[in-house]
């Protein structure tokens, strides 16, 4: 009988980065040896897009049944243990871990980006969840340091983000890029942070500067619930004339489009990860330690959002682009290293499940 894995995370909630984590991780398993189910915000959509059977992530009777049937509960990545907005995320996943352990199931917390967790209960619940886990890996050294500060005593290994296991897409949907005339295309990924109008104004002004200097800005929607309204507002502030990429169904569709761009400026971590995965070195704008950590791993600039102006951001991006001769080749080498590290999330799962053969492709 196949080993049954139940995947939990922010899957099927309209965020391409989280879906990339789920898909990248699940593709590392031989479907004859492993039966994978996911908790999803949109079970039918998740099955339609990825072929992964799913249970509603808030359908608690069905979650209880799914846990009773699985061999291991796996949280394959994302920044799900954090309390930036509230402590509800940490509490939700702690309850899943507790329920699985009470049912005698194994729990694997893999490729995790932990924090920020600054509130008392957020820190407490995060530590409790990790101290119950049978296997822990994190995507960056800072996450391991934080877990140790929280009092986690279980062994912790550093791997990488499971979204890197998607690799590069095979072929493209069409042969044309987004260039208009001689203008180079620059993808821009925004996300809410602090006062939303501050982010919108910064990137609306940046889009205008790019266009005025021979670049074609293209707004990228990573999260259809959060990013879409901001992208429309950026366009409104520019007379409604900023091209965008919205309502994509899968991360592979975004990879195909990113592969045809000349540059990417990303606030969202997984916009940077997916750009790097297709050989486009991203320029990151950090609003969170996880973005800074990725910048260090990839050796790319990740200036902070706070106090940033459009003019300064434009100048730093242009200087970065001038130095990109040879940088994309270096990026692909780094991505290969990170992809090998991410593959250890699958390898450690196989070992923990008693399967010693190499991972295949589902």
Question: 24 phi and psi, to 5 degrees?
Answer: -60, -45
User: What percentage of the chain has pLDDT greater than the value 90?
Assistant: 80
User: Averaging pLDDT over each range in 76-80, 103-107, 285-289, which range is the top one?
Assistant: 103-107
**Ranges of CATH 3.40.50.2000 domains, the chain:** 3-160+339-352, 184-324
CATH superfamily of 184-324: Glycogen Phosphorylase B; (3.40.50.2000)
Contact 218, 243 (CB under 8 A): yes
Helix axes 196-212, 227-237, angle to 10 degrees: 50
Contact 163, 24 (CB under 8 A): yes
Contact 114, 146 (CB under 8 A): yes
CA 9 to CA 57: how far, in whole Å? 9
pTM of the model: 0.93
Residue among 59, 17, 16 at smallest CA distance from 39 = 59
User: What percentage of the chain has pLDDT greater than the value 70?
Assistant: 94
pLDDT at residue 175 is higher than 60: no
Tens digits of residue pLDDT in 195-239: 768 999 999 999 999 999 999 999 999 999 999 999 999 999 999
- Would you state the pLDDT for residue 248? 95
Q: What is the mean pLDDT of residues 111-131?
A: 94
- Contacts of the segment 352-360: beta carbons below 8 A, 24+ positions apart: 352/72, 352/106, 352/108, 352/134, 352/135, 353/3, 353/71, 353/72, 353/106, 355/3, 355/33, 357/30, 357/33, 359/28, 359/29, 359/30, 360/29, 360/30
CATH of domain 3-160+339-352: 3.40.50.2000
Contact 262, 184 (CB under 8 A): yes
Residue among 31, 22, 25, 23 at smallest CA distance from 4 = 31
Contact 248, 221 (CB under 8 A): yes
Residue 16: Cβ within 10 Å count: 26
pLDDT at residue 60 is higher than 50: yes
Instruction: Name the pLDDT band for 361 (thresholds 50, 70, 90).
Output: very low
12: its two tokens? 């099927």
Q: Return the residue matching tokens 């009988």.
A: 1
- Give 70 or 279, the one with higher predicted confidence: 70
CA 9 to CA 18: how far, in whole Å? 7
């Amino acid at each position: 009988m196949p080993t049954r894995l139940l995947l939990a995370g922010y899957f099927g909630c309209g965020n391409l980065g989280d879906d990339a984590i789920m898909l990248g991780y699940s593709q590392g398993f031989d479907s004859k040896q492993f039966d994978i189910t996911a908790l999803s915000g949109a079970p039918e959509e998740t099955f339609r897009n990825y072929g992964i059977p799913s249970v509603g992530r808030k359908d608690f009777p069905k979650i209880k049944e799914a846990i009773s049937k699985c061999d291991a509960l796996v949280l394959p990545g994302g920044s799900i243990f954090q309390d930036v907005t509230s402590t509800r995320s940490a509490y939700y996943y702690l309850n899943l871990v507790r329920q699985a352990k009470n049912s005698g199931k194994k729990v694997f917390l893999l490729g995790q980006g932990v924090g920020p967790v600054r509130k008392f209960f957020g820190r407490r619940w995060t530590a409790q969840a990790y101290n119950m886990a049978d296997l822990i890996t994190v995507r960056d050294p800072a996450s391991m340091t934080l877990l140790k500060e929280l009092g986690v005593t279980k062994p912790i290994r550093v791997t990488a983000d499971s979204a890197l296991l998607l690799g590069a897409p095979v072929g493209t949907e069409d042969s044309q890029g987004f260039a208009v005339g001689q203008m180079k295309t620059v993808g821009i990924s925004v996300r809410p942070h602090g006062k939303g109008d501050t982010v919108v104004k910064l990137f609306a002004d940046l889009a205008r500067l790019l266009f005025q200097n021979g670049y074609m800005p293209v707004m990228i929607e990573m999260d259809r619930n959060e990013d879409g309204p901001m992208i429309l507002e950026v366009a409104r502030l520019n007379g409604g004339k900023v091209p965008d990429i919205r309502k994509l169904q899968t991360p592979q569709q975004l990879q195909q489009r990113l592969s045809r761009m000349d540059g990417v400026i990303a606030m969202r971590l997984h916009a940077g990860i997916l750009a790097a995965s297709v050989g486009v070195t991203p320029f990151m704008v950090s609003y969170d330690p996880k973005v800074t950590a990725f910048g260090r791993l990839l050796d790319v600039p990740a200036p902070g959002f706070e106090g940033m102006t459009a003019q300064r951001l434009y100048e730093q991006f242009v200087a970065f682009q001038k130095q990109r001769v040879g940088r994309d080749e270096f990026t692909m080498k780094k991505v290969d290293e990170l992809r090998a590290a991410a593959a250890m999330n699958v390898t450690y799962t196989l070992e923990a499940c008693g399967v010693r053969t190499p991972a295949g492709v589902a």
